[in-house]
A and B are shown apart, each in its own frame.
Chain A
Amino acid sequence: MLAAGARATSPPVFPEPEGAHEQQAAEVAAVHGAANQAGRRSLQIARARFVRAYEVHTVDVRAIILVGGLGDSTAHENESFAGSLLATYDVLGKPAVVRVIERLKAQSINAISVISESPMAGSAKLPVAWTDAPAAQFWRIAENTFSDIAQAGAEAVLVIRMGGYSEFDVDDFLQRHLDGRAHVTRAVDPNGAPLEMFVINASRRNDAAYLFRHRLQQTRSLCGQWVSRGYHNPLAAARDLRALAVDGLLQRAQLKPAGMERRPGVWVARGARLDRRARVLAPAFIGAAARLHATAVVTRCGVVERHAEVDTGTVIEDATVLPYTYIGAGLDIAHAVAGGKKLLHLPRNVEVEIADPKLMDVRSQHAPLRALESAASLAAFLPVQIFRGLLATSQRKQPAELPVAVKTPSAIKTPAEVEASSEASSFANFAVARRYGDH
């Protein structure tokens, strides 16, 4: 299978002998003119003084996206939250890994293999070869995938580990790789810090194997470098997930919320159920099939991802509610990431496990199970209320005797008793006022 490869310009193909410039220029000009006449066949460019001929041809580029690969890291920033890798969590409606796949496809890289340590719901529907790999086999599978891709005829392989979310120009990266004539080219950020993105010549399997065996930390030989000037988020901790969502809402990154902009800055995805009394203040995002109960408030870059539910009176302020998370009534979720029975409070940098389902719970990812849960809670509602009504004693006790203050009639109801003497004095004052007035 041939990928609809990324176009790249190869280095000069034709030699440039001394003294042959004018002749070559004439030839090139002739070809150029003929090509213009024929239309869309121009492959060469002639310059005024120095004649350099370039050939534009198609390079078969394929991509491997590695999701995870840190192994059993117990480090604080282990690229996961509540048991799942950050790259597989929704950010404004779509997982970061899906956003990277879409960006690659938009840049003509269609053959993409994803190797993920953490399974993702809906990965089967993606137009990529998705492999769920256990941590122990992760890098071995990556190596084998590279070999398979090389055997299938790829010329260059783009390897991205997520890890971080990057917005970069694939064509520019490939061009740098071809121009540099390196076996491996690594992306670095503008400060020179290495990113986990590589272009590897498909024929250099040993270089690739060495790189994979060292978890993308070492190259076998000196590698080329390409400076990525696009947006980059390391996605090392849940804090970064929140930062990515904020950057998306504030349009610092190119990722767009996957929904319709109902009002300026308020994005609502399909199937979201918002109570009439719920308030959503821009910028904010409400994901697909998410639910906001009455008087719930989402504000200051608040994000409620798909199938999440925010109960009555709860405020989501500068916080992200991850998919399938239920947030109880009357709570204040501020500066936090909530999901999977865990809440990360960003200013305190504390991750708290919340076991109480009244405060926070996880909804099933399977629609039939969710429907069953709803039906069960509905069926249980009436018996529970009847039971409570039977057992509960009346809480409202009338006091035996009302206090004197309560019994006293209101002062408004009693007619005003104006004394004659006071009336006379008030008129006297009035007369004085009139005497010294302007009129």
Chain B
Amino acid sequence: METTRPVVVKRIPERLNLRQARAFCREIEPILISDRPQIVFDCSQVKQIDAAGVEMLLRCLAQVIKHDGDVKLAALSPEMAVILDMTRTERLFEIYDSSSDAVLSFSRFLPSALKQPAMFIKPAVPSGTDPGPESSEAASEPGEDATAEAAA
């Protein structure tokens, strides 16, 4: 089933500290309180994000859910991915590789476009280094989670 409601793609600024987060929040306030908002945050340019930035994202999500909408994240920069991972917030959002994938996901089911958390990626081991048994264990465990997530 295709939806005709618009999807808003918003690019998050390079630095997302308390001041920037407040300004950003003010900017998107009208979209958040609209009926069933569909929002994609493009995070490709984020270089620095702190606790206030993460809190802003969560506040946006809470606000949007109240209005029966959804917020999705796209094109996470490595810095932002690490911070979301560290603050345990990445599991709350749907994350896509690109904004277009995220936009399309509102109208159709795109399981393969969902970005896998980086923990599942096998680390790049320098040549001649033994990755050790624990790394293989780490790679196998999350695989099960990924399957479960896809099945869900």
Chain A residues with Cβ under 8 A from B119's Cβ?
334-335, 347
Is B48 part of the binding interface, using a Cβ–Cβ cutoff of 8 Å?
A: yes
Chain A residues with Cβ under 8 A from B140's Cβ?
none
Chain A residues with Cβ under 8 A from B65's Cβ?
none
Of B83, B86, B129, the most chain A CB neighbours within 10 A belong to B86
The reply to whether A334 and B85 form a contact with Cβ atoms under 8 Å apart is yes
Is A128 part of the binding interface, using a Cβ–Cβ cutoff of 8 Å?
A: no
The reply to whether B88 and A191 form a contact with Cβ atoms under 8 Å apart is no
Q: Which segment, of B31-39, B99-107, B120-128, B144-152, faces chain A?
A: B120-128
The reply to whether B134 and A352 form a contact with Cβ atoms under 8 Å apart is no
Is B28 part of the binding interface, using a Cβ–Cβ cutoff of 8 Å?
A: no
The reply to whether A335 and B82 form a contact with Cβ atoms under 8 Å apart is no
**Nearest B residue (CB) for A313:** B88
Chain B count of residues within 8 A CB distance of the other chain: 26
Which residue in A318, A345, A355 is a CB contact (below 8 Å) of B134?
A: A318
Which residue in B87, B88, B121 is a CB contact (below 8 Å) of A348?
A: B121
Chain A residues with Cβ under 8 A from B124's Cβ?
349
Cα of A326 to Cα of B58 in the assembled complex, Å: 24
The reply to whether B50 and A352 form a contact with Cβ atoms under 8 Å apart is no
Is B92 part of the binding interface, using a Cβ–Cβ cutoff of 8 Å?
A: no
Chain B residues with Cβ under 8 A from A358's Cβ?
50-51
Cα of A335 to Cα of B118 in the assembled complex, Å: 11
The reply to whether B118 and A347 form a contact with Cβ atoms under 8 Å apart is yes
Is B78 part of the binding interface, using a Cβ–Cβ cutoff of 8 Å?
A: yes
Chain B residues with Cβ under 8 A from A356's Cβ?
17, 50-52
Cα of A346 to Cα of B135 in the assembled complex, Å: 11
Is A343 part of the binding interface, using a Cβ–Cβ cutoff of 8 Å?
A: yes
Chain A residues with Cβ under 8 A from B83's Cβ?
352, 354, 359
**Nearest B residue (CB) for A233:** B129
The reply to whether A346 and B129 form a contact with Cβ atoms under 8 Å apart is no
The reply to whether B134 and A332 form a contact with Cβ atoms under 8 Å apart is no
Within 8 A of A (CB), among B60-91: 78-79, 81-83, 85-88
Contact bitstring A241-256, B, C-beta under 8 A = 1, else 0: 0010010001000000
Chain A residues with Cβ under 8 A from B82's Cβ?
343, 345, 348, 350, 352
Cα of A300 to Cα of B135 in the assembled complex, Å: 11
The reply to whether B51 and A332 form a contact with Cβ atoms under 8 Å apart is no
Within 8 A of A (CB), among B12-57: 17, 48, 50-52
The reply to whether A333 and B86 form a contact with Cβ atoms under 8 Å apart is yes
Within 8 A of B (CB), among A326-340: 328, 330-335
The reply to whether B48 and A353 form a contact with Cβ atoms under 8 Å apart is yes
The reply to whether B123 and A349 form a contact with Cβ atoms under 8 Å apart is yes
| Least Cβ–Cβ distance between B4 and chain A, in angstroms | 33
Show the binding face of B for A, using Cβ within 8 Å: 17, 48, 50-52, 78-79, 81-83, 85-88, 118-119, 121-124, 126, 128-129, 132, 134, 138
- 13 pairs, CB–CB < 8 Å, chain A vs chain B: A300-B134, A318-B134, A328-B51, A331-B86, A332-B87, A335-B119, A335-B123, A347-B118, A348-B82, A348-B118, A352-B78, A356-B51, A359-B50
